[in-house]
Structure 1
Amino acid sequence: MAGATFGILGPVQVRAADGREIALKGKEHALLTMLLLNVNAPVSRDRLIAALWETAPPSAVSNLQTHVARIRKALGSDVRLFTRGSGYLLEADENDVDLLVFDREVRRARADARRGDLVAAARGFQGALALWRGRPAEGVQVHDWMRERVAELEERLAETRLDAAEARLGAGSPAEVIGDLRSFVAEQPLRERAWHLLMLAYVRAGQRHRALESYERARTHLVAERGAEPGLDLRRLHAVTLADERSAAEPGPRTTVCQLPPDHADFVGRRDEVAAVTRNLLSAHGTSAGTAVPVSAISGQGGVGKTTLAVRVAHQLRHEFPDGQLYIDLRGCERHPLDAAEALGRFLRALGLDSSRLPADLDQRVELYRESLADRRYLMVLDNAADEAQVRPLIPGTRGCAVLITSRQRLAMLPATRRIDLDVMPVADAVELLGNIIGAEKVVDTPSEARTLVRLCGELPLAVRIAGAKLAARPHWDLGHLITRLSDTRGRLGQLSHGSREVRASIAIGYQSLPSQAQRMFRRLGLLEAPDFAIWAGAALLDTSEPEAEQLMEQLADVRLLEVAGHGPGGQVRFRFHDLIRAYARERAEADETDGARSAALERAFSGWLDLARRAHRRLCGGDYRIVHGDGIVWRLDAKAAERVVADPLAWIEAEAAGVVESVRQCAALGFDELCWDLATSTMDLFQTRSFHNEWRTTHETALRRARVSGDLRGQAAMLHGLARLCFALDDRTGCGPALEEALELFDKAGDRHGHALALVNQAELHRLQGRDADALACYEQAGEGLARAGDRSMEITVMRGIGRIHFRMGRLEQAGTFVRRAVRMADEVGDVRSREFTRIVLGEIVLAQGDPAAAEGHFSQALAVLGALGFPSGVGYAALGLAEVRLARQDVADAERLLEQPLAIYRDIGDKVGQARVLFTQAEVWRRQRRLEEAAELLEEVVALCAAIQAPSRQGLALRLLGDVHRDAGDLPAAVAAWRRALPFLEATSAPEAGKVAALIEQHTA
């Protein structure tokens, strides 16, 4: 992070590379805190807005962009704060954030402890603990989900304190840790591990009576708060202490049943899940939950570590269930799961019943099983369950026992069940697991490669274990070698196999258990490159109804071959693949589907995206205006359902932006030429409104390349026109002209008069911005016939607004107002809300110039509210700038300066240099009136350079004119005259009224 460091383990601290402390206040401080609490993980915009405002204002999206931009400005190049989808990601290296340093040091210390180097471990834990300066994010009011994160960090702190005490105790320093442990149990008196360590420290320090006193205090707290006696470990240590033993020796051989598989020595992470399952299972011995047998059900996709987690918890709780632990693999993912009667037979035999006594009837076996378990304390681990019907007979009838289930299904119909949905591992935990397998020093030495490797494994524990096993078996391989092999997505599953274990087989188990239609849905969804998709996409792929598609996709989600990604526009559930499962789905599609079937399925899906994109565009722009289309769509959604999905067109493009980009790429690769460019052009205005410039560029450049290869003249022209508009949005006047010229030529060759007129309007806009008003008016007039023939009223609005702006610049305010008011009325008739409010801002500028700030404020305020609710950042910035200029006209200079913060932040965030130049120009005028003349002059030189870079001669001339005024106010007439003389050529070419005024000033001060 270029030298900046951040502290979150206490009050938030930000230090620049030079050691300066950077102070952020208010919502910027809170926003940075939220991002630091989730460093290196994206945080959704909705979460951030919910945390920043109890009741989000209509302008919350643009306000959030403002706060992000202010953080970027305050930290400059010292921060890597990126937009990710509809959220933000704060990216940091391990040494840049105290939380990341803490995690790294704890991992190293635990690795030392596993190797038996307790002195080094104790030193490492103490170094990690020294990073804590108080509560995480201390002093910041936290939202509910932030509070959960803070609680998680505090839990990690508590576990690390106990790890440190245990290491120091094992290193032979019992007397030194007693004080720390006494403080700990005073703070958290219900942690049995802390009491156990304190008793052990007293025993080893020769203070047996203190150990016995500690046991009584622990027992008092536990009975009072939990209604339960201390666990077996504490009771056993108490017993040996009474017998004057000097250490807590392990007990002798047990006679109870234990069928548990071995625990994984390299188990890492899953702290919250372990704690949740443990709490629930221990309630079997409490009194607060009635008489129901507690059941914990861990669900998740194959290879995610369900069994590993269940076995770890079961081993940790062995002493809480002293009568025994029964385990069985129910083979739920196989074609023939284990019969419940057979499972009961195995359990009954393990409980000591002779096979000859076992009844054949299922109900009789259930009765015998529950009778055998009555008033006893057993833990049953039911691994790999198929469904509720399979496990229901295996649940004991009386409290005292507990049940731990794993399944790919969510077992929603079991009573008294605590369900844990297990996701893939966090990257840091997956890296630690890899280090446990191949050696911690290898991941410590190459942390970036280790993170890349686990990401290629999809953070799936099984895949990480297999990758680690391959590296351990081939010591001549380094991480980079395996990364190269895994980077080929088509061969990745083949690489993730070692010995008898492979990721492909784990996925195949779930796939093979599906009916044929669900298998077909799985295969075809795997053909899509979109990161997530709605139900309609599945319907298109199978050419079926949405209800049937939803049923099949939910079936895939039930067996964890799909993941629910959330809800999208129209309330449709959105699904996604884990990367490795997608690779398997594609393998099956290529093996089991013909080329024709795959191509037809994809063409229907991409047609669905196009159909929705067209509908969303029509809703945004009031009709099929501003763009050209191809001639057909292969597949359409049900009309009512489609209109419901795009009821909020900008919410739709937010949900589908990545899918549109990937669909355009796939269309290009598959030769769906017209689909490719039509989808790109249909989403252009949607992308522009949300300032999705990267997506806009990618789709158009991809489609242009394909259209050039296929010789599609209309497609080439449409994409060049779209790229020219993108140049406008990014203030790239150099690239705009050539693209428009070629688009005009190609539209003409293709005989597309509407497309030709669209390009002429944008050429007129370019001439206007360059101050070539006569050329602009000629282009506007020439475009009119083609627009009228096509019925493109939205572009007629652009023409009227452009002509009005030319009159405005020439000082003809009445004529300007006439054209712009007509444009507002037409936009209202058409239903083009975006154009109407954007045009209203221009009207506000005109009436402000006519000396009516009250009317101007009304126009700007209405536009700000509507465009803010619409989520149109550049429009919001434009309206907010207008309000600042109203304040300036009323001589409220301080309020004007305050109001300028928002548009400047927005324009910087979206990269709008014209907008930045306008705001900085107004800021310079504010400083001039505040007599901050030196600062104003420096700022205006910056504006002049910016306008020169983006080829905005009118703005450049106005900035130089104001620079001359500033020098004159400062008493430097030679500098003033020099600035005015620099301004005059620009103004003579672009603004006759201003040119006359400046010429008069030069004459006045040189006479």
Structure 2
Amino acid sequence: LVLLLRDGFTGELPGNRRGERLPVMTMADVYEVLRERLKGRTVEGHRVPAPRMSTRDSGHRIPLAANRAHTPHTSSPPHLAPAAPVPGSPAKVHTAYAATRYFTGREDELTALARAAEQPAAVCVVHGRGGQGKTEVLRAAAARAGHRFPGGCLEIDLRGWTPGEQPRDPHMAIAEQLHHLGYGPERIPADLTARTETWRLQLAQHPVLLLLDNAHSAKQLAPLLPSAGSPSVVMISSRSELPEISAHLRYELSPLPTEDCVTVWHKMGISQDADDLGRLADRINGSPLALGPVGTRLLRGAHPTAILASLAGPNRHTAFPGLDAAERDAFDSAYTALDADLRTLIHHCAWHPGPDFAPDSLAAMAQRPEHEVEVRLTEIEQILIRKNNRYSLHDSSLAYARRTAAHHCTQDEERSSRSRLYHHLRTGLRHARDALSTSGSQDEQEARTARRWLDAHTQELQSAAHASSTDKWQGAADFLNAVGKALYMDDRYIEAEGIFRTVLTTTAPGSLEQANATYSLGDVHQQRGRYDEATTAYHDALITYQAIGDRHGQANTTHSLGEVHRMQGRYDEATTAYHDALAIYQDLDARIGQANTIDSLGDVHRLQGRYDEATTAYHDALAIYQDLGKRHGQANTIDSLGEVHRLQGRYDEATTAYHDALAIYQDLGDRLGQANTIYSLGDVHQQQGRYDEATTAYRNALAIYQDLGSRLGQANTIYSLGDVHQQQGRYDEATTAYHDALAIYQDLGARLGQANTIYSLGDVHRMRGRYDEATTAYHDALTVHQAIGDRLGQANTTHSLGQVHQSQGRYDEAVGEFQKARDLYSELGITEWADRCQLAASESEAARAKDAGSG
């Protein structure tokens, strides 16, 4: 010890560390080095005893002395600048967890895995019984080998052996991983074969270390494995040997040696002087999962011999022929050490549908104050897994916990507990959505709290909603729909679609719940620019509403069909749908529906440039809203009137209208309405050439959108900031903004936003005289506009193609594009722009004739 303190550390240390890289020597470091150096040493024929360490309250971390052998680490010569990132290369993604700080031993396994990871497309399988520590071995191996993979390290729990759950669908896992890697929904193929090919191509182009934990079978793994020759490497853990997998390395994980079990307990702060630790390690058969629960009892003062006696009692297994029996006894030992209150909490943990939970959920299940539950949960963290103040049970512990709860409690108690959970989550969801939509500037902290609650509970909400359906909870369909709508509002369209489809498969055909879910699917399709699918969904919902006689549902769905037609520029069909919906609302005396539909008719007139008719419609809608006292509707309609004034160049009147709308939104605490109106004020400033004021307004709106988590609002605002830069001739900044907006649109699957942004990138190229690039961008935008049926977008893009050809002196092509654009505008009823296109075509014809004459 004296020599060690005098000379310092050098050489290899546990945890893949180098002694000379450590600036200080901690209690645990000194213990590890002494233990290694004295192992097997004798003095005069007598074996040197192993060093002993006894600490508490994390005393193992105490620095004892400076490391005199410390050599600062430099990753590259000081004169070399760090390499610049490769343009377009994806960010390194690391989703693997770190191994527990108590991880000990397994050096042979880690060395073998590290060597295997040097081979391209290596597949390594670590198998063994549940609770052997397979997951921790994979994570420790990743800590050693992960730096070799520029794409990062991805960990996927396949839930192959998790009690009460089905193994994960590998194709869904691929979709989630591609999303983590930056793929937007539209880049993730719906065809499963194509999705697998996309995944393998990603693994081939961007090498990653892939940890596939808790795998069930070769069939589950097959789509996830890289192609031959891929630079990516896979490490798999499973209770099965997986003989069908062609593995470069297959290792059966044995129980942890007795010496390593004792070392783990020492690292936890259990006294080295405690008797019979070695016998206790043998008794639990070296189960890593049992180390925590048993260690907890030891830390609380239980003597090893007392734990041994309890494990051998008449109500416990007297032998441990297999690891599962050892795990069960270790869990039972920890369970019986708890007081009655903590045992009850464990029952509620077992009943929770997963995948994890926060103290508020468990408090609702147990009918206890949240602060009490949060404090008490810290007393059983050796049984629970804790991350970011959320808890879960290891899959093996979950099986024992459920078995124990079933033994001590009735099914009615379980059902009641879960019912309280469903009610709590549904209520919390409603309050969070209300806070985000209606909290005023004085309650911004409340909105942020709501946003954090939603982010933390998203996976739990989805799992609980599905479980409520399985439990046939009376509010299940409503709960599922609420979760689906929350996901939809958060721009999580793929997950929302999955929830709504669950409603369709779990409710009676032709029921109101079916109609509502189908209608919501239409909303998802519409938001993603999948207008044909939206139309189909709305028609299906309409048929069901008609069959059950729900006329209000018929009116709403017909109105939404009008919205789809309007988005596609099919204004005559939109108008017809709106009038049909209006007739039903009038028959039902549903005045709010009447006002909404008249407002939508105003939108159609505005888009067609029929501003007087639009103004009349908006005033008619406003009168109804005022009569009903619906201030939110009043604000929306006043905002729309401001839009008409802006389009007519009546900027003072537009500004007044927007400020009037903003005042109402602020009074109501509608932060989304505030953001939208501030955004519109930015449009007014931009059109007046007041670019600094426009930029300020857009940035203020962007801050609110970011606070609300409205990614679509963020994309729209960043796009408009790009417009400001473009109009100021700051083309590089405009291009950056457009690309930033495009990335969000692509991630959301918002195809109309994508088309508009690509169109604007074409404008930038045209302004810079890069006509070939402009033509390519316009054609790309036109393809999307045609795919979604957006006729106004087609007209605008065709007109711009004509301008490019005209600038290049290609007058024949210019005339053709201007005439096509003229016809589209005429069909849409936008006569002003139809006339402009005719004039442009005539100018091109004149220029063509002039060129021919001079020739």
Per the normalisation by structure 2, the TM-score is 0.59
Contact 2:436-2:708 within 8 A present in 1 as well: no
Any residues of structure 2 matched to 1:362-401 within 5 Å, and which? 381=52
Any residues of structure 2 matched to 1:485-634 within 5 Å, and which? 499-502=321-324, 503-557=327-381, 560-566=382-388, 573-622=389-438
Instruction: Answer yes or no: is 1:726 the counterpart of 2:524.
Output: yes
Any residues of structure 2 matched to 1:63-102 within 5 Å, and which? none
Instruction: Answer yes or no: is 1:412 the counterpart of 2:57.
Output: yes
Displacement of 1:921: 0.9
Q: 1:232 to 1:735 in 2, by over 3 A?
A: closer
C-alpha distance in structure 2 between counterparts of 1:934 and 1:458, whole Å: 59
Partner of 1:897: 735
3-state SS in 2 of match to 1:576: strand
C-alpha distance in structure 1 between counterparts of 2:732 and 2:58, whole Å: 63
C-alpha distance in structure 1 between counterparts of 2:347 and 2:786, whole Å: 54
Question: How many residues end up aligned between the 2 structures?
Answer: 608
C-alpha distance in structure 2 between counterparts of 1:780 and 1:429, whole Å: 69
Partner of 1:212: none
Contact 2:123-2:246 within 8 A present in 1 as well: no
C-alpha distance in structure 2 between counterparts of 1:754 and 1:274, whole Å: 76
Residues 931-956 of structure 1 show CA distances to partners (whole Å, capped at 9, x for unaligned) of 11111111111111111122222112
Displacement of 1:732: 0.9
Give the aligned residue type for 2:331: I
Instruction: Answer yes or no: is 1:280 the counterpart of 2:26.
Output: yes
Which of 467, 472, 478 is matched with 1:671 structurally? 472
Displacement of 1:772: 2.7
Contact 1:920-1:939 within 8 A present in 2 as well: yes
Displacement of 1:498: 8.9
Displacement of 1:652: 1.9
Give the aligned residue type for 2:410: T
Instruction: Answer yes or no: is 1:835 the counterpart of 2:673.
Output: yes
Partner of 1:181: none
Q: 1:473 to 1:808 in 2, by over 3 A?
A: closer
3-state SS in 2 of match to 1:672: coil
Residues 345-400 of structure 1 show CA distances to partners (whole Å, capped at 9, x for unaligned) of xxxxx99xxxxxxxxxxxxxxxxxxxxxxxxx98764xxxxxxxxxxxxxxxxxxx
Give the aligned residue type for 1:914: L
Instruction: Answer yes or no: is 1:661 the counterpart of 2:462.
Output: yes
Which of 819, 833, 840 is matched with 1:994 structurally? 833
C-alpha distance in structure 2 between counterparts of 1:840 and 1:760, whole Å: 31
Which of 36, 43, 49 is matched with 1:316 structurally? 36
Q: 1:688 to 1:831 in 2, by over 3 A?
A: farther
Which of 748, 764, 768 is matched with 2:566 structurally? 768
Displacement of 1:850: 7.2
Displacement of 1:766: 1.1
Displacement of 1:927: 1.3
Give the aligned residue type for 2:368: T
Runs (5+) with no aligned partner, structure 2: 65-96, 141-160, 162-213, 216-236, 254-286, 291-318, 616-638, 644-657, 847-855
Which of 930, 937, 946 is matched with 2:784 structurally? 946
3-state SS in 2 of match to 1:450: strand
Any residues of structure 2 matched to 1:688-703 within 5 Å, and which? 688-703=488-503
Q: 1:323 to 1:663 in 2, by over 3 A?
A: farther
Residues 963-997 of structure 1 show CA distances to partners (whole Å, capped at 9, x for unaligned) of 11111111111211222343344333335132332
Aligned-pair identity in percent equals: 18
Larger gyration radius, structure 1 or structure 2: 1
C-alpha distance in structure 1 between counterparts of 2:803 and 2:467, whole Å: 57
Residues 774-793 of structure 1 show CA distances to partners (whole Å, capped at 9, x for unaligned) of 44356557767969988979
C-alpha distance in structure 1 between counterparts of 2:131 and 2:607, whole Å: 57
C-alpha distance in structure 2 between counterparts of 1:464 and 1:878, whole Å: 41
Displacement of 1:282: 7.6
3-state SS in 2 of match to 1:279: strand
C-alpha distance in structure 2 between counterparts of 1:868 and 1:472, whole Å: 41
Contact 2:792-2:828 within 8 A present in 1 as well: yes
Displacement of 1:610: 0.4
Give the aligned residue type for 2:452: A
Residues 717-744 of structure 1 show CA distances to partners (whole Å, capped at 9, x for unaligned) of 2222221121122211111112122334
Give the aligned residue type for 2:641: T
Any residues of structure 2 matched to 1:101-180 within 5 Å, and which? none
Any residues of structure 2 matched to 1:829-978 within 5 Å, and which? 829-842=667-680, 844-845=682-683, 848=686, 856-857=694-695, 859-978=697-816
Q: 1:591 to 1:914 in 2, by over 3 A?
A: farther
Displacement of 1:669: 1.9
Contact 1:697-1:726 within 8 A present in 2 as well: yes
Partner of 1:810: 609
Contact 2:126-2:134 within 8 A present in 1 as well: no
Runs (5+) with no aligned partner, structure 1: 1-191, 193-221, 235-266, 285-309, 325-349, 352-376, 382-402, 406-410, 487-492, 567-572, 624-641
Residues 38-63 of structure 1 show CA distances to partners (whole Å, capped at 9, x for unaligned) of xxxxxxxxxxxxxxxxxxxxxxxxxx
Displacement of 1:773: 2.8
Q: 1:438 to 1:764 in 2, by over 3 A?
A: closer
Instruction: Answer yes or no: is 1:651 the counterpart of 2:452.
Output: yes
C-alpha distance in structure 1 between counterparts of 2:510 and 2:598, whole Å: 28
Contact 1:987-1:995 within 8 A present in 2 as well: yes
Residues 742-800 of structure 1 show CA distances to partners (whole Å, capped at 9, x for unaligned) of 3344445566666555544433321210113344356557767969988979x978984
Q: 1:751 to 1:320 in 2, by over 3 A?
A: farther
Per the normalisation by structure 1, the TM-score is 0.51
Greater shift in the superposed pair: 693-702 or 657-666: 693-702
Contact 1:616-1:652 within 8 A present in 2 as well: yes
C-alpha distance in structure 2 between counterparts of 1:803 and 1:453, whole Å: 68
